[in-house]
Amino acid sequence: MQKAKKADIKLVSQILNGERATLWEYYKSYTPILKGFINQKIKDERDVDEILQNTLIASLDAFRDYAGESSLKTYVTAIAKYKIADFYRKRRIKTLLFSRFPAIEHLLHVLTTSEDELDKLITKERVHEILHSLRPKYSQALQLHYLRELPVAKVALKLGVSAKSAESILFRARREFAFRYVKQGYAVPTISKKAGRSFRTSNARSWASNKEL
């Protein structure tokens, strides 16, 4: 046990010192361990891969605090547990956001639907208008995650921040996007079976004044 503990501390120390061979060995050894653990909780393979990458990146940040109180396996598994809980938390927030602002979900997915091309063009222009009005980092984060469909871990690399910081940036960016969208009172184009194209605007102003934003 003591020997294993020393080996874990040595491995972490070498990674913190920038030894790439050790980092590669860590990834090679712990990727299947973590993936197996996450697979027990999450079924969608894409979600599993994203949580796995987030866990591996977060573990590198957390290594500075590792002092060998537990085995390295226990330590990184605890990080994976946190990332899984965070995944469910964010999914609940996303569900709540989209239930309160259904237009936002339409905006984020309109370019991959089979809706009328004119409606797509109008919505695309509005999306870009709002994106360009956001802080540069917010705009970049949303475009990377939703338009280019990069996982949070890769968004973090592109932004030059930790995965945790990227998650926080995306959360604040989504909230700001939603606020600006409803504040401007944009109508979401829909296709009516009887009347052709119509626009939903009835709740836009009341949403914009909601204090919880």
pTM, rounded to two decimals: 0.46
**Residues 52/27, Cβ–Cβ less than 8 Å:** no
Per the listing, tokens 């626009």 go with 199
pLDDT over 80 (residue 202): no
pLDDT, position 213: 33
Q: Does 15 fall in a domain?
A: yes
Mean pLDDT of 106-120: 48
Write the pLDDT tens digit of every residue in 52-93: 988 988 898 889 889 888 999 999 999 999 999 888 887 776
Greater confidence (212 vs 160) lies with 160
CATH number at residue 179: 1.10.10.10
On whether both 118 and 203 belong to a single domain, the answer is yes
Query: How does pLDDT run across 14-46, given as a tens digit for each residue?
Result: 998 888 889 999 999 999 999 999 999 898 888
Which comes out higher in pLDDT, residue 159 or 210? 159
Q: What residues make up the domain containing 123? A: 101-208
Q: Are 103 and 181 in contact (CB under 8 A)?
A: yes
For residues 108 and 198, membership in a common domain is answered with yes
Let me know whether 136 and 105 are in one domain: yes
Q: Count of residues for the chain?
A: 213
* Final residue before a domain boundary, out of 41, 70, 90: 90
In this structure, the answer to whether residues 113 and 83 fall within a common structural domain is: no
Residue of 123, 126, 163, 125 whose CA lies nearest to 141: 163
Show which of 37, 64, 90 is a domain's final residue: 90
Helix 2-16 to helix 72-100 angle (10° resolution) is: 60
Query: What CATH number is given to the structural domain containing 49?
Result: 1.10.1740.10
**Any domain includes 44:** yes
Written as one letter, the residue type at 96 is L
What is the rounded average pLDDT for all residues in the chain?
75
| CA distances (Å), origin 30, targets 1, 24, 27, 111, 125 | 19, 10, 5, 38, 44
Task: Tell me, rounded to whole angstroms, the distance of Cα 154 from its chain centroid.
Answer: 10
In-domain check, residue 96: no
Give the list of residues 6+ apart from residue 209 with CB closer than 8 angstroms, or none.
none
Number of structural domains in the chain: 2
Q: Are residues 7 and 60 in the same domain?
A: yes
Question: In this structure, what token pair is assigned to residue 211?
Answer: 């204090």
